[in-house]
C-alpha cells in the first residue's frame, strides 16, 4: 500500500509537469523506478511508456477541447516520428549508446539555450504558412493566429525525435516542442499541446510491445496510470493560464535536467 500511494503521488506530479510542457515524464519515472525502487530497467521503461501514453491522452482531453492542439500538424509529423522510432530501434543494435547519450546531452543544452530566446515574429511578407490555425489563449483571452512554416524541417526533425525516442527511450517531446516553436513558427502553447498529442502515438507502440512481453508490471503501472490521469488533467488546464515566459523557463530547466541525466549515462 505504501508503494502504491508513493507511486500515485509521484505520478500526479509527473502527469502535471508532463502535460504542462508537452513531454511524457520518462525523465522522472525511469530513474525513480531503477535507482530508488531498484526495478529492472526493462520494467521501468515499460512503466514509463504507459505513463507517456496516459499523459498524452489525459492532457489532450483538455487541449483538444480548447482547440489549442493542431491535429493535422501533429498527424503529419507523426508519420516521420513513427518511422524514426522504428528505425531507431534497429539502429540501437549497432550504434554505441554512450556516444548517443553524449550527443543528445549536447543537443539538449543547445535547445535549453535556444528556448531562452523568444522566436522572431514572422513578418506579414513571409506569408501565412500552411495549416492555418487559431486558438484562444486562456491566459490572456486573446485569439492567436498562426501558420506553419518550414514543414520540411519539421518532418526531418520529427524523424530525428522519433529516432532518439527509439534509441534512448526518452526525448520525443523535449525535441518536438522547440522544433515546432523555434523552427516552424508554432506558438509555444500550441507546440506543447501538439507535442502532447504526438508522444502518445510513439509511446503506445512501445508500450504494447513491452506489455505483451511481460515488461509492464501492474503493481507499478496501476498507481502510475491513476496518478497521471489526475495530474495531467490539472497540468493541462493550468498550462493554459500560465504566461508563455514561465512555460519557456520551465522547459529550459527540464532540458538541462535531462541533459545532465544523458551526460551521466554517457560517461558512466
Residues in contact with another protein by CB under 8 A are 4, 45, 50, 53-54, 56-58, 60-61, 64-67, 69, 71-72, 75-76, 78-79, 82-83, 85-86, 89-90, 122, 124, 128-129, 132-136, 143-147, 166, 197, 200-201, 203-214, 216-219, 221-222, 225-226, 229
CA angle 194, 15, 236 (to 5 degrees): 50
Cβ proximity to another protein, 226 vs 238, nearer residue: 226
The rounded distance, in Å, linking the Cα atoms of 239 and 231 is 12
Q: How far is the CB of 189 from another protein (least distance, A)?
A: 13
The answer to whether the beta carbons of residues 135 and 67 sit under 8 Å apart is yes
Q: How far is the CB of 13 from another protein (least distance, A)?
A: 19
Cβ proximity to another protein, 42 vs 249, nearer residue: 42
Cβ proximity to another protein, 111 vs 228, nearer residue: 228
Q: How far is the CB of 155 from another protein (least distance, A)?
A: 11
Q: What is the dihedral of CA 243, 244, 245, 251, to 10 degrees?
A: 120
Cβ proximity to another protein, 144 vs 244, nearer residue: 144
Cβ proximity to another protein, 32 vs 190, nearer residue: 190
> How much is the CA Rg of the chain, to the nearest whole Å?
18
Judged by DSSP in three states, 131 sits in: strand
For residue 173, the surrounding DSSP H or E stretch is helix 172-178
The rounded distance, in Å, linking the Cα atoms of 64 and 196 is 10
Amino acid at each position: 500500500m505504501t508503494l502504491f500511494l508513493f507511486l500515485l503521488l509521484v505520478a500526479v506530479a509527473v502527469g502535471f509537469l508532463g502535460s504542462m510542457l508537452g513531454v511524457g515524464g520518462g525523465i522522472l519515472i525511469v530513474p525513480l523506478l531503477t535507482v530508488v525502487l531498484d526495478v529492472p530497467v526493462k520494467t521501468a521503461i515499460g512503466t514509463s511508456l504507459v505513463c507517456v501514453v496516459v499523459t498524452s491522452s489525459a492532457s489532450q482531453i483538455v487541449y483538444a477541447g480548447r482547440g489549442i492542439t493542431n491535429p493535422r500538424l501533429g498527424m503529419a509529423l507523426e508519420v516521420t516520428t513513427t518511422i524514426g522510432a522504428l528505425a531507431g530501434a534497429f539502429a540501437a543494435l549497432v550504434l554505441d549508446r554512450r556516444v548517443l547519450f553524449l550527443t543528445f546531452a549536447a543537443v539538449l543544452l543547445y535547445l535549453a539555450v535556444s528556448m531562452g530566446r523568444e522566436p522572431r515574429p514572422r513578418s506579414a511578407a513571409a506569408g501565412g504558412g500552411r495549416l492555418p490555425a487559431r486558438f484562444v489563449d486562456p491566459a490572456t483571452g486573446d485569439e492567436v493566429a498562426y501558420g506553419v512554416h518550414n514543414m520540411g524541417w519539421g518532418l526531418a526533425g520529427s524523424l530525428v525525435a522519433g529516432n532518439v525516442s527509439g534509441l534512448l527511450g526518452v526525448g520525443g517531446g523535449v525535441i518536438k516542442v522547440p522544433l515546432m516553436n523555434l523552427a516552424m513558427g508554432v506558438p509555444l502553447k500550441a507546440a506543447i499541446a501538439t507535442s502532447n498529442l504526438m508522444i502518445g502515438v510513439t509511446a503506445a507502440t512501445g508500450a504494447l510491445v513491452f506489455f505483451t512481453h511481460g515488461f509492464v508490471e501492474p503493481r507499478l503501472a496501476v498507481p502510475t496510470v491513476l496518478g497521471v490521469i489526475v495530474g495531467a488533467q490539472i497540468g493541462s488546464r493550468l498550462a493554459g493560464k500560465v504566461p508563455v515566459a514561465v512555460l519557456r523557463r520551465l522547459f529550459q530547466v527540464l532540458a538541462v535536467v535531462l541533459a545532465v541525466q544523458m551526460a551521466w549515462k554517457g560517461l558512466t
